[in-house]
Amino acid sequence: MINNIETDSEKKIRLKKVATATIVGSMLEWYDFYLYATMASVVFAKVFFDTSNPEAATIQAFATFAIGFVARPIGGLFFGYFGDKYGRKKMLFVTFLLMGICTTAIGFIPTYDTIGIWAPVFLVFFRIIQGLGAGAEFAGAAITSYEHASEEKRGSQGAWPALGLNLGLLLSSLTVFLLTLNGDEFLINGGWRIPFILSFVLVFVGLWVRKSLPETPDYEKAEVEKIKTNPFKDIMKKNMKGLFVVFILAIGYNSLSYIFKTFSLAYLTQFQGISAHVTSLSVTIASLVAICTVPLFGWLCDKWSSKKVLIAGGFLSMIFAYPFIKLLETGNHISIYVAVAIGTGVLAPMMFASQGSFLSRQFSVENRSTGVSSGRELGTALAGGLAPLGALTLVASSATNSTTGVIIILFIAAILVVISAYFDQGHRFTKHKN
């Protein structure tokens, strides 16, 4: 328990632990998710499915990416509830362990040629368990950062998970880039296993850091004051509006983010003939841009408010929807780098960095973990898996491989971000603008 009187040096040590624990956790989650998205679009159709029908195998491989999102709301509800009942620290440890074990295990699954139908069965199994852990990871990390922060720093510290996200993207995309220096053949012929297996290094570091993480001051205060409620019932009775705001925001943001990050990879690979070497470099560049922009957007959340930053991100995404797709359609490498750098390096981080504080402030401390985890992951399950899969299916089913439907999806998703931010419920639980 944190003392009522804390020296400056003790505070610095505490915040360093919090920053490391939240950033490393988000790194693993997004290291895995980018790796999986890349491999689903480039490798998994060839190694885990019947290749007699390549187009069907591609859709099946990408569907396993979507399956992980089905498990996320279940994990969010379960671990979010226990995060409110037993503490943020314990759940952060458990969810990280689940994600880490499954990410490493995927690297050891035999191919379709070796064990037949059991190959995709194992892939789906580990993907589901992985999704359970990932379902509460962002909420736990964001809430922990938010509750450890002073009032005037909740925007910038709430952005720490967004920094971890982009460090994870950078690490995974750079790994794929290096593995494909001589083409995609090495990746397809077993090289894809290397980054999954090596993820155990991140797991080891993350578990070590999270074991020593202190509980949040807000949660400890609630325990001392004996604030004990049933988080689900409390939200249903008092704060359905906050839950709805989080749900709609998750649909809008994740539709945008996963089309920027995952649909683009599959589209470029399948319909523009672009190699994984080029697509991974585009994400590497975007991640480097995002690592610079995330702290800026966190600072803007403190200066303006997370609500205003979210609304700005939504409006800018509306404007960029058409240019983004048209840049991808050119097949030109420089155009691809520009499109992904703006979408994944600027716009997605702008909306994600502001969510740490925005989502946390929609709920009171006694039901915050449940509210953020359940609302966000239900929306993420609908949009994160279905938006890129649906967009890819629209293109594949068009006789001319038209991308008009994808532009419409992006535009609608951006509108949802703006609407959800406008109906911010944070004023009910905090006097601070962040």
Nearest to 97 by CA among 197, 206, 219: 206
> How sure is the predictor about 228, in pLDDT bands with cuts at 50, 70 and 90?
low
Give residue-wise pLDDT tens across range 15-44.
998 999 899 888 887 888 778 877 887 889
DSSP code at position 426:
G
Q: Which of 34-48, 281-295, 311-325, 362-376 has the lowest mean pLDDT?
A: 34-48
Give residue-wise pLDDT tens across range 148-190.
998 889 999 999 999 998 999 899 888 888 988 888 888 889 9
> How sure is the predictor about 75, in pLDDT bands with cuts at 50, 70 and 90?
very high
Q: Does residue 227 surpass a pLDDT of 80?
A: no
Q: What are phi and psi of 241, to 5 degrees?
A: -65, -45
**Architecture field, domain 8-428:** Up-down Bundle (1.20)
pLDDT of amino acid 160: 94
C-beta neighbour count of 350 within 10 angstroms: 23
Q: Integer distance in angstroms from the first to the last C-alpha of the chain?
A: 25
For the record, the structure tokens of 227 come out as: 């604030």
What is the pTM assigned to this prediction?
0.88
Nearest to 396 by CA among 114, 83, 59, 95: 59
Q: Which of 41-45, 192-196, 350-354, 409-413 has the lowest mean pLDDT?
A: 41-45
Give residue-wise pLDDT tens across range 84-98.
988 998 998 898 889
Q: Does residue 318 surpass a pLDDT of 60?
A: yes
Average pLDDT of every residue of the chain: 90
For the record, the structure tokens of 319 come out as: 């404007």
pLDDT of amino acid 74: 93
pLDDT of amino acid 61: 84
For the record, the structure tokens of 240 come out as: 């359905």
Q: Does residue 246 surpass a pLDDT of 90?
A: yes
For the record, the structure tokens of 405 come out as: 């439907």
Give residue-wise pLDDT tens across range 192-203.
999 999 888 888
Nearest to 309 by CA among 254, 347, 362: 347
> How sure is the predictor about 226, in pLDDT bands with cuts at 50, 70 and 90?
low
pLDDT of amino acid 305: 95
> Is the CB of residue 203 less than 8 Å from the CB of residue 100?
yes
Mean pLDDT of 215-227: 78
C-alpha to C-alpha distances, 127 to 121, 141, 244, nearest whole angstrom: 10, 21, 27
> Is the CB of residue 351 less than 8 Å from the CB of residue 298?
no
C-beta neighbour count of 233 within 10 angstroms: 10
Q: Count how many residues are written for the chain.
A: 434
pLDDT of amino acid 181: 87
